[in-house]
Structure 1
Amino acid sequence: MLNNPKTSALLRVVARLALGLGILVMSSGVATAQVVLPRTLELNPKEMEQNGFIVAQEALQLAQFQQFQEALIRAKLAVQLAPQAHEIWALLGGLYLTVDEPQEAVVALERSLKLNDQNPGVYFNLGSAYFRQGQYAASIRVIEQGLALKPDATEEWFNLGNAYLKLGQTDRAIAQYRRSLRNDKRFWPAYTNIGLVLYEQGNIRQAAKNWEQAAEIDPKASEPKLALATALLKLGNEAEALKLAEEALRLDSRYGTVDFQRENLWGDRLVADTQALLAKPPLRALLSQLQPEQSALPQP
């Protein structure tokens, strides 16, 4: 499972926004010749910065309503008005991350850190941006910098584990997942991903125990239920496997596709075994109903 920061993570990026209004007004004048020459606008830097925060506040409000493209336009304007405001660069980077433009997010977030290197949320968002670009070592580096400032960030220990997992450092990955559980014993994604690692190592029973724990914490989570169903099939309990798999697919049928499984860090062994489970006639029929547009269903 991946833990991709959504709107809530974005909203943590900005610590504060100015409330004062500063309006830029171009004064009118009387022309003294037949040709009217453009007047030079003298901009007050303080007023520009105030207006930058006002525009950034508008961007943040739009983001809260998930109007991300409109928010992005305003955030770009805001950093032009207040180029030294680290909060606004952080907001812009968070918005780029939300609209899946990680390269642009990296530029904005690194600029924010140059202005203020004490904001853990910026390190965490930058880690997510590097992760999406496949720069897992860079992701680890900046997430660790953020955790040095905010060690109680449960989700970030989890994200750190994901980066180690992508580098094939499974022992370190599990250590980070367990560290997130020390912060929050009910953080079920960590149990899920520990199970993903154990399953690939051939420890099916222990993987199943972790998925059971995750499913107990959040009965509406599709991923651990489907993974547990696969493990139960391998352990010889087909009836319970079919029951759990049906529940999981009805909760989120995307987990019935290989692409979505791999996107959520499922390994080769679990993907193959899950496809064998989904090839069972009752589940094939269910998937054809839930994913009528899916042309490549598991073959029996």
Structure 2
Amino acid sequence: MSLKKNWLLSLLACAGMWSITLPASAQALLPHTLEPNPENLEQQGLALAQDAAQLVRFQQYDQALARAKVATQLAPETYQPWFIWGSLAARNENTDQAIVALKKARELAPEEARVLFTLGSTYFQKGDYNQAVATIEAGLNLEPNSPEALFDLGNAYLKLNEYDSAIASYEKAYTLEEGFWPAINNIGLIQYEQGDISQAIKNWRTAAEIAQNPTEPRLAIAVALYQQGNQEKALSLGKKALTSDSRYANLDFLEENLWGKTLLSDTAAFFASPVMEGTISRLQVNPTEDN
């Protein structure tokens, strides 16, 4: 699992992200369009940025992005507007724009671990995994006990095929937050690629017990059981998994969620079985094409 929908936007929605206190005059302007005032442009910019953060909470992303962009012009020497703009640009998959904004935020607030974590996640999104590792590790030097950042670091190491480092990051993330099932799930993904199917199944079962929506670990278990010859149980579990979330019948979606080559190949064979073909057909999903 990649958690690409990411935890990073929750940083914006958090009321505690603001280390500044806006004056009453700026706070009163939040619901309205702000008129530039040369005497307090920076405060107006920060008010707009805070307004953008509130809009994120209500998933009004386009409005939030527009406010954040204006805020960077009004308060160009404060990191919050750049941080919000960069995070929202990353959400829109404008990674080049996001990286420029987040690097500016980093320049203005080099001790803000959240900026580094978000920048590292954006490098991962862009496919620059070495830079993702370096940036997330810089953030962890400032804030070492972030399960989400450790998980992102593990994902970057996984993409670099540095499996031992990936597992170490996932294990630390899970130690810090016991219910953080994606970390255990992804350890299973690595173990499957390494040929340790029994241990992978064990970790996926742990993840399935914890997860609110256990579709991914259940499907992974089904594929593994099918490869081991336990076809009846595998098909029953696979049908249940795809019925609960048909996105997982898409091989591209699974690859995006960091399923490795061996597991993807075995999943393709599993989907080609008559029972699973029928299930997927009923769900009107083509497992080789994007939804």
Structure 2 counterparts to residues 121-270 of structure 1, below 5 A: 121-218=114-211, 220-270=213-263
Aligned to 2:56: 63
- Give the alignment partner of residue 43 of structure 1, picking from 34, 38, 41: 38
Aligned to 1:15: 18
Equivalent pair of 2:188/2:201 in contact (CA under 8 Å): yes
Paired AA for residue 156 in structure 2 = A
Paired AA for residue 237 in structure 1 = N
C-alpha distance in 1 between matches for 2:72 and 2:131: 25
C-alpha distance in 1 between matches for 2:201 and 2:167: 15
Paired AA for residue 110 in structure 1 = K
Larger radius of gyration: 1
C-alpha distance in 1 between matches for 2:34 and 2:272: 68
Paired AA for residue 161 in structure 1 = G
Gaps of 5+ in 1: 27-40
In the TM superposition, residue 19 of structure 1 has moved relative to its aligned partner by 3.1
In the TM superposition, residue 295 of structure 1 has moved relative to its aligned partner by 8.1
Larger helix share, 1 or 2: 2
Q: Does 1:289 align with 2:291?
A: no
Residues 233-276 of structure 1 deviation map (CA, whole Å, 9 limit, x = unaligned) = 11221111111111211222111111011111111111111111
Gaps of 5+ in 2: none
Q: Alignment RMSD, CA only?
A: 2.2
Equivalent pair of 1:14/1:88 in contact (CA under 8 Å): no
Paired AA for residue 253 in structure 2 = F
TM-score, normalised via structure 1 length: 0.87
Structure 2 counterparts to residues 79-158 of structure 1, below 5 A: 79-158=72-151
C-alpha distance in 2 between matches for 1:25 and 1:153: 36
Give the number of equivalent residue pairs. Answer: 280
Residues 35-66 of structure 1 deviation map (CA, whole Å, 9 limit, x = unaligned) = xxxxxx9822xx10111112112212221111
In the TM superposition, residue 17 of structure 1 has moved relative to its aligned partner by 5.4
Q: Does 1:75 align with 2:68?
A: yes
Equivalent pair of 1:14/1:91 in contact (CA under 8 Å): no
In the TM superposition, residue 230 of structure 1 has moved relative to its aligned partner by 0.7
C-alpha distance in 1 between matches for 2:232 and 2:212: 19
C-alpha distance in 2 between matches for 1:246 and 1:167: 32
In the TM superposition, residue 166 of structure 1 has moved relative to its aligned partner by 0.7
Secondary structure of the residue that 2:103 maps to in structure 1?
helix
